[in-house]
Amino acid sequence: AALATPGVRVGSKAFTESVVLGEIVAQTAASTGTAAVHRRALGGTRVVWEALTRGEIDVYPEYTGTLVREILAGEPIADDAALRRALSARGVGVAAVLGFDNTYALGMRRAAAERLGIRTISDLLRHPGLRFGFTNEFVDRADGWPALRSRYGLSASSVRGLDHDLAYRALAEGALDVVDLYSTDAQIAQLDLSALDDDRRAFPRYDAVILQRLDLDARAPAAVAAIRRLAGTITAREMTAMNARVQLEHADPGEVAAAFLAERLGLA
């Protein structure tokens, strides 16, 4: 029997940007003649990370703050070198640091924030009656609502967990007052939201990276080399524009990724 074609199995988390980045990675691998599949929107952070470490996928997009504060929480990670060591002990490497930060922020409709005089997260302490709606994962994550609650002493009376896109809709319709934003989401500009200043620095940096299983180097060297060349190629503005194509115009993430690779990297 013929040897199985060495392939690259890409995964992504269940939100727009992760799927777009997964497509960029899968198409980049495919451009080297390597078979590539993308298991889109596999699940939340834990599910996709475990799929990587168990060997069900080879590559997926992640964020440094998520690695340090959630996935590897409990391990002291002081700097970049320590992060790479902790990953490598798990058979994982950083193939590329993409060039932008997608941080969590708390957001309100600008008009509502201005009316109530809210500019910072600390200002929320004076308005305990506000209705909070957070992405399900944010409600439980060590770097999400639990971190904000203890850092700021917030004790909202109403906190709902919901789908990220539904949270934006509920905010726009006035059914919620405060949601967690991802800073590269296109809805922030579209819905005229304001991101509250994280005045007590609860959130870390969330630099977008591509994680890979280290054993992929031997299995698909050309694809890995191509994925490494994605380093530094995406600015926050470019990522927001790609998210907008999907979030606001409902373009397919595969098309958006193909356009990016063609225009920015000359990959056909």
Residues forming the site for ligand PBE (CB under 6 A): 13, 45, 63, 66, 102-104, 182, 206
With the C-alpha atoms ordered 19, 20, 26, 27, is the resulting torsion angle positive or negative?
positive
Q: Write down the residue that tokens 């889109």 correspond to.
A: 40
CB of 4 to ligand PBE, least distance (A): 32
Across the chain, the runs of DSSP E, i.e. the strands, are 7-13, 35-43, 59-63, 92-101, 104-109, 131-135, 158-162, 178-182, 193-195, 207-213
Comparing CB distances to ligand PBE, the nearer of 138 and 260 is 138
CB of 253 to ligand PBE, least distance (A): 15
Comparing CB distances to ligand PBE, the nearer of 70 and 177 is 70
CB of 104 to ligand PBE, least distance (A): 4
Comparing CB distances to ligand PBE, the nearer of 63 and 260 is 63
Q: Which residue is nearest to ligand PBE (CB)?
A: 66
List the one residue out of 93, 82, 96 whose CA is nearest residue 24.
Answer: 96
Q: Helix, strand or coil for residue 61?
A: strand
Comparing CB distances to ligand PBE, the nearer of 20 and 220 is 20
DSSP class per residue in 169-218: HHHHTTS-SEEEEETT-THHHHTTEEEPB-TT--S---EEEEEEETTHHH
Comparing CB distances to ligand PBE, the nearer of 104 and 152 is 104
CB of 137 to ligand PBE, least distance (A): 7
CB of 155 to ligand PBE, least distance (A): 23
